[in-house]
Amino acid sequence: MRIGDYKESYSADEAVFRTGTVRVWMLLLFVAMAVFPFWAGPYLLYMANLTGVAIIAAVGLNILTGAAGQISLGHAAFVGIGAYTAAILTTRLGLPFLICLPLSGISAAFFGMIVGAPSMRMKGLYLCIATLAAQMIFEFIFVHWTSVTGGIRGINVPTASIFGISFDTEFKMYFITVPIMVIAVSAARNLFRTRVGRAFIAIRDRDISAELMGINLFQYKLYAFATSSFFAGVAGCLQVYILKIVTPEHFPLHESVRYLAMIIVGGLGSVLGSIFGAIFMTCVPEALQSLLSLFQGIDDKIMSYLYPLQTVVFGMLIVVFLVFEPHGLAEMWRRLKDYFRLWPFEH
């Protein structure tokens, strides 16, 4: 009689879904995601679409910062490059959505490699400042290159269309955003199981040792920047078709900080952490605003203090998470799973 869960092959040991229980829960999750749009209203679907975009962008940044150890404060700029690429290709060249999507990612990856080129000679705070400079440069381009970007007025984008089907509602866009999000998350999860992903982790942990083992630091750092920027570009393309417009106001510096906060709150180096962090950073502010709206009409003077207070409460929540669980929400989830897996035993 066999007792325990033994892995008898390398493929079994490296499987993403290692047990039957996990497979059942994942199946239930996919069923829930498929059923969700049929009972949710337009606002919930809108938030679900924005959350899906945030997850894709956060996963990309976690590949660069969490896995490869390259800090970036310019991630929103690469989301913007993907967004403007999609808008320009759609409005001026008439290209369909299915072509704009990969081209947006490729465009962002190209500029990501340019920004990442100095990473061989810079790391830590110096690389952070370099990516911050890139964020400022691209912001300036988005605002002042009016002949291409439309300046502060931006570019209006038509509805996404696939094989003659117009995705003109939040309900329909959900069935574009979620499948692409699932593909992006699956690709990132499997990337860490490849030679390239393991090279990223080796560079993060000890770059000198990685180089001594034969890893080309410059080459793999460029790979990390390109991969991260590709995810950001895809997220930008989806965001354009959800909002139907792209302006420089969508990609300021604080948006880059928000993406960085997503992976820190969720858990650095964890794909699941990227998902948790994106959901937290997207949905919690909306939940706080909805909670405050319940008190609207009581006293206008009190409300004038309460509305700015939601930002303070949100910031305090982030600080609390970082103080009590520095490894993020993914670590909290792991501990919760371990508790119920061993319950009622302690060890």
In Å, what is the CA distance from 59 to each residue of 14, 39, 184, 195? 20, 28, 8, 19
For residues 96 and 308, what is the distance between their CA atoms, to the nearest angstrom? 42
State pLDDT tens for residues 327-347. Answer: 888 888 888 877 777 666 655
In tens, the pLDDT along 217-256 reads: 888 999 999 999 999 999 999 999 999 999 999 999 889 9
> Torsions phi, psi of 245, nearest 5?
-160, 150
Q: Which domains does the chain have, with CATH numbers?
A: 44-342 (1.10.3470)
Predicted local distance difference test score (pLDDT) of residue 82: 94
Amino acid 347: pLDDT: 56
pLDDT digits (tens, 9 = 90+) for 254-310: 899 889 989 988 888 889 999 999 998 888 888 777 777 766 666 666 666 666 666
Confidence at residue 18, expressed as pLDDT on a 0 to 100 scale: 66
Q: What confidence tens digit (pLDDT) does each residue in 15-62 have?
A: 666 666 778 888 898 999 999 999 888 999 999 999 999 999 999 999
Q: What angle do CA 61, 65, 66 make, to 5 degrees?
A: 100
Give pLDDT tens digits for 146-188: 988 888 888 999 888 888 888 888 999 999 999 999 999 999 9
